[in-house]
Amino acid sequence: MSEPLVISIDAMGGDHGPSVVLPGLEKAIQSLGAGKVRFLLHGDPSIIESALLASSGLRDVCEPRAAQGVIAMDAKPAHAMRRGKGTSMWNTVESVRSGEARAAVSAGNTGALMAISRLLLRTAGNLDRPALVANWPTLRGTSSVLDVGANLICDAERLVQFAIMGSAYHRVIHRVARPSVGLLNVGTETEKGHEDVRSADRLLRATSMTFDYHGFVEGDDIAKGSVDVVVTDGFTGNVALKTAEGLARFFRAELRRTFTETALSRVGAFVAQQSLRGMSTRLDPSGINGGPFLGLNGIVVKSHGGADANGFANAVRLADSLGRSAFIAEIDRDLLLSATTQSEPMRARTVA
């Protein structure tokens, strides 16, 4: 790609707005390269331009775009669609729809971002709603977990679609030619779980896919890295994600407290500082911040609302990686392949 990739940024979104977004962009540019990317910054132009004056590294690669207001973090999705036009979040996604930008990043209200993205970009194929995927550190590397909050209730067909989209995402981002996929359940036996997850299991076993279907996995399999892609409904996935983030912060705090309690423990910390630093980085939720909505006709990456500059930079780097890939075409291809090879019962339900 000879021309810089353009990423549309909701400069006002999240808990901290420009005070985190702008430093996050600076960190992202350090690894992406100033000549490789440009940003459209949507928000209050006076605030954005003032912040840009203090950052020599951003002035040449950022274009401020005026927006009328900000969607509140507690706004209802329906309200956001009715009243959101012209806001920083709306304009951020609109730039992708118009073709001005290749990808969008926002740390704003998750429900509102999904609703606006779905309205402006539409979903691929016969998908009803997009899914939100998270990169999850494991003992084997990184797994992709979805859905983590976009769809609270999911039927069997939707879980199958998540498996297809999650495997395509994992193949592009984590470069695994044929990812392994598991359905999150309360046990690994075929009779365990509610009817929707058991039906999804039967459909996945009966359909030819571009991934290796592993079967059911349990909660502890996520951190083990038993499979590359873990599929679940948004309610369960979001609870699991927030629990993992809380535990990671707990362990980091406990490590810090333990190694500063006494003079001897501080000596031990000094000796093991390199290993401890690596462990602390591995446990830092900001290190895996950023998850795209899968299934849209465009790339939209959601950053955690409370992310710091390092976390927001990771979300931007993810958007850049997706923007340079054939990510959307890959999902379209796999969905089409599954539609032509799936069993007749599923095909009838999907068409209906």
Q: What is the mean pLDDT of each run of 10 residues along the chain (352 residues)?
A: 87 91 92 88 91 80 92 88 91 96 94 92 82 90 90 89 92 91 92 90 86 93 94 92 83 78 76 63 63 93 91 94 86 72 49 44
What is the model's pLDDT at position 120?
A: 94
In contact, 300 and 90? CB cutoff 8 Å: no
CA distance linking residue 6 with residue 103, whole number of Å: 7
pLDDT for res 126: 72
Alpha carbon of 101 to those of 5, 22, 115, 190: distances in Å?
A: 8, 18, 19, 45
Which of 327, 304, 330, 261 is closest to 15 using CA atoms? 304
Element (H, E) at 195: helix 195-206
pLDDT for residue 279: 56
User: What span, in angstroms and rounded, lies between the C-alpha atoms of 352 and 349?
Assistant: 5
This prediction has a pTM of: 0.84
Q: Which of 161, 164, 79, 90 is nearest to 128 (CA)?
A: 161
Distance CA 211, CA 300 (A): 24
pLDDT at 341: 60
CA distance 24 to 247: 25
| pLDDT of res. 352 | 43
Domains and CATH numbers, the chain: 1-121 (3.40.718.10), 129-290+325-352 (3.40.718.10)
Distance CA 294, CA 301 (A): 9
CB contact burial 167-204 (16+ within 10 A = b; e otherwise): bbbbbbbeebeebbbbbbbeebeeeebeebbbbbbebb
